[in-house]
C-alpha cells in the first residue's frame, strides 16, 4: 500500500505546474508584431515577457542588441499564449527563449518625466539623458469608485472664449473634442496647455499630451511650440508616432493615464490629451485581427467600447479624504465628412461628459474656432465656471442659437422688424467677439471683460470687420488705465458692481478715442 502511495506522489509532482520563478517558454511562430509562445502555462493577462534576443549570437552582436526585448501577453489560449512584441518585431524568431517576468506591464512615473518626450514604455525620445524614476505605475488600473470621488466644481480654463463661456471644462471632467480633419482639434488641446501659463504656479495642472499615430514632424512642431512659449516646464509628451508598432500606439493613451494618475494620487491636478482615439481604435483593431480575435462591427473587436471606457473612466476628481487630486481627460476623435453617428464617435460620445464639435463649414467661413454651439455641450455646465463667467456668459449660448435660427430665416425674408434686426446684429457681433487666433489663449479675466461689454450692448455699433482690432485696443486700455478691473475679476473670480462700472467707463473711453472702429 505504501508503495502505491509513493508512486501516486511522484505522479502528482510530475504533473504539477512549474514554480512561478521558472516560467520559460519558446516562440512557436512570429510575424506581424505577434509571437505565439508555448510553455508559459501560468502567464497572466498583460504580463511583461522578455525575449532573449542574444541567444545564439556572437557576444559583440548580443551586447549591441541589449539582449532583451519586451512583449505583453494578451491572448491566453489552451496550449499557447499570443504575445504582442513591444519593439523591433524582426528580432523575434522561431525557437527563441521567452521568460515571463511575473509583473503586469508598467511604466516609470514621477516628476522626472516633466519636460520630456517619451515613448509609451517611458523611454526618452528627445535625445536627453535616460529617465530614472523611483516609482512605476501599471499601464492598466481599475478606476476609482464613486465613494472615492467628488463632484466636478473647479474650472480648467482653456483660454478660448467660446469654450470657457459656453462649454466649460472642469477639473476631473472628460470632454471630447470631435470634428473632421483640419478643423483645429489639436489647436484647442495645445491652446489649453499654453493657457495654463496664465494660471498661478501652485494651481497649474501637469499636462500630458499623448500623440497616437501622428507624424513625427507634427509631434516635433508641437514640442517646439510648447518649448518656445515655456509650457514644457509643466508638460510631458508621450509619442507613439505613425511609424511605431501598433502595440505601442495601443499602449500610448494608457501610459498617459498612468502618468496622470501618479500626479492625481499626490493631490495635484493633471490634464491628459489623447490625440487621437480614432487612430488608437485602428491600432487595436490591427492587433486584434492579427491575434485572430473575432471581428465585430466594421471589423473592430467586440471589446472596443470597453477599451475606451476603461481608459476614460480613469479621469476623476478625488475626494478630500483621497487627497483632492484630479485627472482631466480631453480625448480627440476624427470624423469622416462630419458623421458623428459612426461607430467609434458614438462610442466615445456616450463615455464622455460632453463634446466640443468643430464644423468644417464654420472653419472654412473663417469662424475659428469653428465650434457648432448647437450640438456642443458640457454635461458639467456652469458647475465648472467662476461666478464672473456665469454672470456674463449665461445668455450667450441662447443668443447665438437664436442668431443661427434667424440667420437662416433672413435668407427668405427681406422685410424684418426692428427687434429681429437687433438680434441679428447682436448675433453677428458675438460671433466676431468669440473668434480667436490660434495659440493666443486669453486669461479668464480678459475673457470676462470682453464678453461683458459685448453682452451689455456697449459695442453694438462696432464695425464687425474690425472687432479683433477693437478687442486688442480695449485690453491695452484696461491694462494701462483700468488695471483694477482685471485684477478685481482675477482675485475674486466674481464681477462686482464696481468692476462693472469700470468696464463700462473703459468701453465709453474707447469709443471716444477710436471713433473709426465704430459705425458701419
Does the CA dihedral 305-311-316-319 come out positive or negative? positive
379 is catalytic: yes
DSSP 294: P
Q: Determine whether 70 is exposed, middle or buried from the number of CB atoms within 10 Å of its CB (0-12, 13-18, 19+).
A: middle
Considering 221, 292, 297, 379, which one is annotated as catalytic?
A: 379
As given in the structure block, the three cell numbers for residue 97 are 527563449
Whether the link from the prior residue into 276 is cis, omega within 30° of 0, is yes
The reply to whether 184 sits in an annotated binding site is: yes
The residue assigned the cell 492598466 is: 140
Distance CA(185)–CA(276), nearest Å, equals 10
- The partner residues of 31 in beta bridges, in order of sequence, read 34
455 is in an annotated binding site: no
Q: Locate all alpha helices (DSSP H) within 365-517, ordered by sequence.
A: 387-393, 396-410, 418-434, 444-455, 467-481, 483-492, 497-513
236 within 8 A of 263, measured Cβ to Cβ: no
181 is in an annotated binding site: yes
Paired sense of beta strands 235-240 and 176-179, if any: unpaired
Q: Is 180 annotated as a binding residue?
A: yes
Cα 423 from Cα 420, distance rounded (Å): 5
Distances (CA, A) of 239 to 113, 117, 250: 13, 7, 11
Q: How far is 416 from 5, CA to CA, in rounded Å? A: 102
Phi then psi for residue 131, to 5 deg, are -90, 130
Residue 179 assigned ligand-binding role: yes
Check the annotation: does 182 bind a ligand: yes
Q: How many CB atoms lie within 10 A of CB 8?
A: 9
Pick the closest to residue 196 from 290, 251, 268 (CA basis): 268
d(CA 358, CA 182): 10
CA–CA distance, 79 with 26 (Å, rounded to integer): 12
Dig out the grid coordinates for 57 from the structure: 549570437
Q: For residue 237, what are the CA distances in angstroms to 215, 224, 240? A: 14, 11, 10
Give the DSSP H/E element, type plus range, for residue 191. Answer: helix 185-195
Task: Strands of 269-317 (E only): list them.
Answer: 269-275, 316-317
| Radius of gyration of the chain, Cα coordinates, nearest whole angstrom | 28
As a whole number of angstroms, the distance between CA 102 and CA 73 comes to 11
Nearest to 139 by CA among 92, 207, 88, 84: 84
The grid coordinates listed for 242 are 505613425
Q: Which residues contact 466 (CB under 8 A, 6 or more apart)?
A: 517
Nearest to 157 by CA among 328, 24, 366: 328
Binding site for ATP: residue ranges? 179-186
For the annotated catalytic residues, the residue numbers are: 379
Binding site: residue ranges? 179-186
Amino acid at each position: 500500500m505504501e508503495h502505491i502511495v509513493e508512486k501516486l506522489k511522484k505522479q502528482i509532482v510530475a504533473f504539477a505546474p512549474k514554480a512561478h520563478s521558472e516560467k520559460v517558454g519558446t516562440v512557436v511562430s512570429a510575424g506581424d508584431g505577434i509571437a505565439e509562445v508555448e510553455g508559459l502555462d501560468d502567464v497572466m493577462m498583460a504580463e511583461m515577457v522578455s525575449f532573449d534576443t542574444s541567444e545564439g549570437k556572437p557576444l559583440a552582436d548580443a551586447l549591441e542588441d541589449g539582449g532583451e526585448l519586451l512583449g505583453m501577453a494578451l491572448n491566453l489560449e489552451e496550449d499557447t499564449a499570443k504575445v504582442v512584441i513591444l519593439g523591433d518585431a524582426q528580432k523575434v524568431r522561431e525557437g527563441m527563449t521567452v521568460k515571463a517576468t511575473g509583473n503586469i506591464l508598467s511604466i516609470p512615473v514621477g516628476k522626472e518625466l516633466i519636460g520630456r518626450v517619451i515613448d509609451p514604455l517611458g523611454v526618452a525620445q528627445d535625445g536627453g539623458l535616460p529617465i530614472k524614476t523611483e516609482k512605476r505605475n501599471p499601464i492598466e488600473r481599475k478606476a476609482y469608485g464613486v465613494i472615492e470621488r467628488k463632484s466636478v466644481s473647479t474650472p480648467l480654463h482653456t483660454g478660448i472664449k467660446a469654450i470657457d463661456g459656453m462649454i466649460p471644462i472642469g477639473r476631473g471632467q472628460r470632454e471630447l473634442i470631435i470634428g473632421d480633419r483640419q478643423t483645429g482639434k489639436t489647436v484647442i488641446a495645445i491652446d489649453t496647455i499654453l493657457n495654463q501659463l496664465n494660471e498661478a504656479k501652485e494651481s497649474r495642472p501637469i499636462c500630458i499630451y499623448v500623440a497616437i499615430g501622428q507624424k513625427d514632424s507634427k509631434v516635433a512642431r508641437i514640442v517646439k511650440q510648447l518649448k518656445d512659449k515655456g509650457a514644457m516646464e509643466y508638460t510631458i509628451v508621450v509619442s507613439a508616432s505613425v511609424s511605431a508598432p501598433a502595440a505601442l500606439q495601443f499602449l500610448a493613451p494608457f501610459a498617459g493615464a498612468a502618468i496622470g494618475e501618479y500626479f492625481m494620487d499626490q493631490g495635484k491636478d493633471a490634464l491628459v490629451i489623447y490625440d487621437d482615439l480614432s487612430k488608437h481604435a485602428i491600432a487595436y483593431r490591427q492587433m486584434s485581427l492579427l491575434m485572430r480575435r473575432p471581428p465585430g462591427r466594421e471589423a473592430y473587436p467586440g471589446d472596443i467600447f470597453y477599451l475606451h471606457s476603461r481608459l476614460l473612466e480613469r479621469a476623476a476628481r478625488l475626494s478630500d479624504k483621497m487627497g483632492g487630486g484630479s485627472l482631466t481627460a480631453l480625448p480627440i476623435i476624427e470624423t469622416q465628412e462630419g458623421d458623428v453617428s459612426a461607430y467609434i464617435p458614438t462610442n466615445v460620445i456616450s463615455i464622455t461628459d460632453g463634446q466640443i464639435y468643430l464644423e468644417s463649414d464654420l472653419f472654412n467661413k473663417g469662424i475659428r474656432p469653428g465650434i457648432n454651439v448647437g450640438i456642443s455641450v458640457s454635461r458639467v455646465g456652469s458647475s465648472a465656471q467662476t461666478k464672473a463667467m456665469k454672470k456674463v456668459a449665461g445668455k450667450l449660448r441662447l443668443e447665438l442659437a437664436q442668431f443661427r435660427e434667424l440667420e437662416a430665416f433672413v435668407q427668405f425674408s427681406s422685410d424684418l422688424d426692428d427687434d429681429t434686426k437687433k438680434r441679428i446684429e447682436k448675433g453677428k457681433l458675438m460671433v466676431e467677439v468669440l473668434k480667436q487666433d490660434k495659440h493666443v489663449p486669453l486669461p479668464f479675466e480678459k475673457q470676462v471683460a470682453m464678453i461683458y461689454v459685448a453682452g451689455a450692448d456697449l459695442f453694438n455699433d462696432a464695425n464687425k470687420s474690425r472687432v479683433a482690432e477693437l478687442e486688442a485696443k480695449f485690453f491695452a486700455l484696461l491694462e494701462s488705465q483700468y488695471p483694477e478691473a482685471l485684477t478685481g475679476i482675477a482675485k475674486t473670480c466674481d464681477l462686482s458692481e464696481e468692476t462693472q462700472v469700470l468696464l463700462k467707463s473703459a468701453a465709453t473711453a474707447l469709443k471716444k478715442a477710436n471713433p473709426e472702429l465704430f459705425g458701419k
